Amino acid sequence: MPRVVSFHYTLRDPSGRVLDSSAGGEPISYLEGSGQIIDGLDEQLRTAAAGAKSRVTVPAKKAYGERDPAQMQHVPRAALPVEGELKIGDQFQTGPHRADPVVTVAAIEGDQVLLDANHPLAGVDLTFDVEITAAREATAEELTHGHAHKADEGGCGSGCGCGH
Ligand code: ZN
């Protein structure tokens, strides 16, 4: 039976720099095997019980993937929705929705800009310090929807956003 697991985490890159953390906020909850968190982390937490603390290292290919050179593309500077100065490292979304890919300015060559559509964490091995705060069996409804629900709200409460 898949579980719904809640955890706090601090995410670091191989140099030890903190990339993200749930500290000070709500723990993250996910349904095992549903793709709500990166595969490599999901796989390595399958046997973790509530209260467990562990350090999990996920290789890039099981996190955000290896870098793909084919994701580098030249576009005219004028085609970008950016006013004012453009700098290497600037990031913007390619569409109006949160899920639209983010591209990063990799180079500026005259009136051409080299955009990198790889995920910013592609090619990066990730280390998670994880503390499991809760683990329970998934409900039938969660299995149908393919994601975790907040136990105290029942069903797709506020913030679920799945549209069921
Ligand atoms: Zn739902």
pLDDT digits 0-9 by tens, 54-89: 999 999 999 999 999 999 999 999 888 777 889 999
Q: What distance in angstroms lies between residue 5's CA and the mean position of ligand 1's atoms?
A: 15
The rounded distance, in Å, linking the Cα atoms of 111 and 106 is 14
Helical (H) or strand (E) element with 99: none
With pLDDT > 90 as the criterion, what percentage of the chain qualifies? 76
Please give the pLDDT value at position 129.
98
| Measured distance between the N- and C-terminal CA atoms of the chain, rounded to whole angstroms | 22
Ligand 1 midpoint to CA 24 (Å): 25
- How far from chain centre, in Å, is Cα 62? 12
Which part of the chain has CATH 2.40.10.330?
Answer: 69-116
How far are the Cα atoms of 92, 131, 133 from residue 33, in angstroms, in the given order?
Answer: 30, 19, 18
pLDDT in the model for residue 153: 64
Q: How far is the C-alpha of 36 from the C-alpha of 30, rounded, in Å?
A: 6
CA of 123 to the centre of ligand 1 (A): 32
Instruction: In the chain, list all ranges with CATH 3.10.50.40.
Output: 3-64+122-153
- Could you tell me the distance, in angstroms and rounded to a whole number, from the CA of residue 136 to the centre of ligand 1? 16
Distance 148 CA to ligand 1 centre (A): 7
Domain 3-64+122-153 has CATH 3.10.50.40: yes
Residue 33 DSSP one-character state: T
pLDDT > 70: percent of the chain: 93
Task: Select from 2.40.10.330, 1.25.40.340, 3.90.79.10, 3.30.70.60 the CATH code of 69-116.
Answer: 2.40.10.330
Q: How close is the Cα of 34 to the center of ligand 1, in Å?
A: 12
pLDDT at 135: 96
Task: For residue 152, give both structure tokens.
Answer: 């105290």
In this prediction, residue 154 carries a pLDDT of 66
